[in-house]
Structures are given as C-alpha cells and as structure tokens.
C-alpha cells in the first residue's frame, strides 16, 4: 500500500474518531451560518465594579482601559482572517458608556470547575445596538476581576500555597438581536474544559520566606509599574507580522478563535466563503497547605509525583499565631 493511500486512510480514521466537524456554538452550525453573515465586534469593555482588589485600583483600571483600546482591533483582524463570515466590522463606540447601556447584571459562576463572570444584557438595548449598526449579531468582550481558589507552586515545585487569588479574566459572547447567546467564552462545548486568566494580580512570596528561614509566606499584590510592563509586553500579530499586540491579549484571542472556527471534513465540504450568499455592503483569609500528593490541575505548574513505594507526604498544621497577611507553606527543607 502506497504512502498516499495510507495517509488518506489515516486521515479518514482521525475524522471518524474525532468527528468531521466540531461545533462550539450554542445553536446548530447551519443555523448560525444562515443567521450571522455580518458580525459586529464591540470595543472591549471593562467592568470596573467587579472584584478587583488591588490597593491601587484606579491606576489598574487606567492600564486595562488603555490596553483594551490598543489591542481590540487585533481580534477583529483574526475573525476576518478565519473565513467564517462574509464581513466582520469593528463598531466604534465608547467602551465605558457601552457597558452602562447594554449590561443589565453580572453573575459569578462556577460551571464544571470553571470560575468566571457571566454577563446578561438589556434586550431592548441589544436589539437597538445591532439594528443601528446594521449587523446580524454582535460580539461583546468584557474584562473583569474575580477571586478564585488556586494552587501556586514554589520554584522548587516541592511546595504550594492553595489560596484565594485575585485575577483579571476576559469573557465574551456573541448575541443576536433577539438576545439569544449564540456562542460564549469560556466555552463548555469541548471535551476537556480549559480557561486561562488574563492576568494574576497576586503571588505568594516563597523566596522571602526562604530567605528569612520561616515557613510563613506573604501573599502580595504586583506593583503598578510591573502590571503596566506586563500589559505592554508585545509580540508580532498573528495576522500581520508588521504590527504588535500585547502578549496577554494575543493568548486570549487565540483561545477564543479556536472556538470560533468550524473544522470541516475536507472530503465533503467546501470553504465557508463558497457556501455563503453575497450580501450588499453595509455602511459603517486562610487555608491549610499540604505537600502535594498528586499532580495538580493542568493549568497549574506540575509537581513531581511520589516515587513508587515512598511514604505518603506528611500533613502540617499552621503555625500559630499567624501574622496578618501571611499563610503557611511547607517544603522538604528550608536551609
């Protein structure tokens, strides 16, 4: 059997096992394609009243608003490039005013272990917004703060601090004029759920504890200058190498786009652009800490698994009394 035949059979087997196409939308793919030919992308909004606990919150909001403004059009270019729409248009609006006008409420959710903020919109305002901009649906992206329990490992990977950490996250939804959520991020129509934060505000200072020969570690906020540098650290755009985009936003946009594309059977379907009809152009605390006994969750740093036959890790009790703002950590040895 020739190499070409074997490769073809292998590809067919993969398609049979994984499915010819994966639909990450909340409606049948055919329904979505007929309904949404012109997609509007709103400016990235910031929920300043969400759970952002940094002591210099005002400075943080300024940094994030500016980063949103500088990077939001990269998402539009990515969507234009993936071939799923007849047209993708950026909708020029003031993000803060848009958030006030469209959003009715925020709800903290924990779905299948994924912690995020889900947003609900005013039906009449969404309808007016979509009709005013002559689009079929609008993509609404929001940056917000949230506190969630996580395990953060030391550089030695021999200890971790499980605690509630304050983070920034990015969520998104595609909504039509009837208020139906056609697609959302984080996306729960995948076999293995993954969802990464946009930015972590806090970190446990293991090094300070080690340097001071103590088993107490302080949970600290990153400094405003450090946060500013993190948001402006850039890389080449994925669609235009001559342009720069924030590394933080590039990762979020790539994750979103992976759930915005429809993977087709190359033997049975044409390209998306061949299936579409032409349309007329439109106008413009506290926690107890233990030595890890097993590998942590995929999104956290991996700790070494215990060797076969080794005794189980010991449990430790907190040192009392604890100073304010400190938590207990343990490593095999602090020298």
* Nearest-angstrom CA–CA distance, 187 and 112: 11
pLDDT for residue 310 is more than 80: no
Average pLDDT across the chain, whole number:
81
CA atoms within 13 A on the CB side of 169: 23
Q: Could you tell me which residues are beta bridge partners of residue 143? A: 46, 170
Residue 214: pLDDT band by 50, 70, 90 thresholds? confident
* Nearest-angstrom CA–CA distance, 64 and 198: 11
Encoded tokens for 152: 């953060």
Encoded tokens for 39: 């997609």
Over residues 130-182, the pLDDT tens digits come to 999 999 999 999 999 999 999 999 888 888 899 999 999 999 999 999 999 99
Looking at residue 215, its pLDDT comes to 84
* Nearest-angstrom CA–CA distance, 8 and 164: 50
Over residues 182-200, the pLDDT tens digits come to 999 999 988 888 899 999 9
* Nearest-angstrom CA–CA distance, 216 and 322: 8
Q: How many Å separate Cα 247 from the centre of its chain?
A: 13
Q: Which residues contact 73 (CB under 8 A, 6 or more apart)?
A: 90
Is 0.85 topped by the overall pTM?
no
Share of the chain above pLDDT 90, in %: 62
pLDDT for residue 18 is more than 70: no
Looking at residue 2, its pLDDT comes to 54
């Amino acid at each position: 059997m020739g190499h070409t035949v074997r490769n073809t059979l292998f590809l067919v087997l993969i398609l049979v096992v994984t499915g010819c196409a994966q639909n990450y939308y909340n409606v049948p793919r055919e329904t979505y394609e007929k309904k949404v030919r012109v997609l509007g992308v709103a400016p990235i909004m910031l929920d300043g009243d969400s759970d952002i606990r940094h002591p210099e919150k005002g400075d943080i909001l300024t940094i994030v608003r500016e980063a949103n403004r500088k990077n939001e059009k990269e998402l539009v270019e990515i969507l234009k490039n993936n071939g799923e729409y007849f047209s993708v248009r950026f909708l020029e609006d003031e993000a803060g005013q848009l958030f006030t006008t469209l959003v009715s409420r925020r709800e903290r959710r924990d779905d299948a272990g994924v912690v995020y903020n889900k947003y609900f919109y005013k039906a009449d305002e969404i309808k007016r917004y979509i009709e005013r901009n002559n689009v079929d649906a609008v993509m609404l992206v929001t940056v917000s703060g949230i506190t969630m329990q996580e395990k953060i490992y030391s550089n030695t990977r021999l200890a971790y601090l499980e605690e509630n950490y304050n983070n920034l996250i990015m969520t998104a939804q595609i909504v039509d004029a009837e208020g139906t959520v056609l697609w959302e991020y984080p996306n729960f129509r995948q076999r293995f759920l993954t969802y990464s934060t946009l930015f972590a505000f806090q970190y446990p200072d293991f090094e300070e504890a080690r340097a001071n020969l103590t088993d107490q570690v302080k949970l600290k906020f990153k400094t405003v200058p450090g946060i500013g540098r993190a948001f402006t650290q850039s890389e080449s755009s994925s669609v235009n190498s001559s342009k720069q985009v924030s590394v933080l936003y590039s990762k979020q946009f790539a994750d979103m786009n992976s759930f915005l594309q429809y993977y087709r059977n190359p033997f049975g379907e044409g390209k998306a652009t061949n299936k579409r009809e032409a349309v007329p152009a439109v106008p413009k605390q506290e926690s107890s800490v233990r030595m890890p006994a097993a590998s942590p969750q995929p999104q956290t740093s991996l700790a070494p698994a215990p060797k076969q036959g080794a005794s189980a890790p010991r449990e430790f009790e907190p040192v009392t009394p604890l100073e304010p703002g400190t938590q207990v950590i343990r490593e095999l040895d602090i020298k």
